[in-house]
Amino acid sequence: MVFTFEHVNLNVTDSKSSIAFYEKALGLKEIKRIEAGDGSYLLVFMGSPTSPLSIELTWLRDKEGPYNLGDNESHLAFRVDDYPAAYEFHKGMNCICYENTAMGIYFISDPDGYWIEILPIR
């Protein structure tokens, strides 16, 4: 039996702002969309040509208020080929929420407060 990692799900409160954030901040593109016939949910899969993994952004019509993200210890991680340029780009977007200069990494936060670790190429 072989399992292949497919995607990770993030529940979002505003699908349009989340899609725009992932497109701008990480260069992801919409690769698939599933909408409920009654409008009760929307699933938007965002991906990159450099990775087989995708992010499923799930919007639920009846969800009220923000999601409880706990202590935000769970996060996504992306490697970038030009770390200094990415840092300056994200700094300009005002989305850097935490820096660890000793480890050479930083985190950005999406519109719902999910943290995304940015790492240099090894």
Calculate what percentage of the chain has a pLDDT beyond 70.
100
Sheet bearing 96-100, strands edge to edge: 76-80, 115-120, 105-109, 96-100
43 pLDDT above the threshold of 80: yes
pTM, full prediction: 0.93
What domains are defined for the chain? 7-61+74-120 (3.10.180.10)
Number of other CB atoms surrounding residue 11 within 10 Å: 16
45 pLDDT above the threshold of 80: yes
Average pLDDT, integer, range 38-55 = 95
Condensed to tens digits (0 to 9), the pLDDT of residues 51-93 reads 999 999 999 999 999 999 988 788 999 999 999 999 999 999 9
What are the two backbone dihedrals, phi and then psi, of residue 94, each rounded to the nearest 5 degrees? Answer: 60, 40
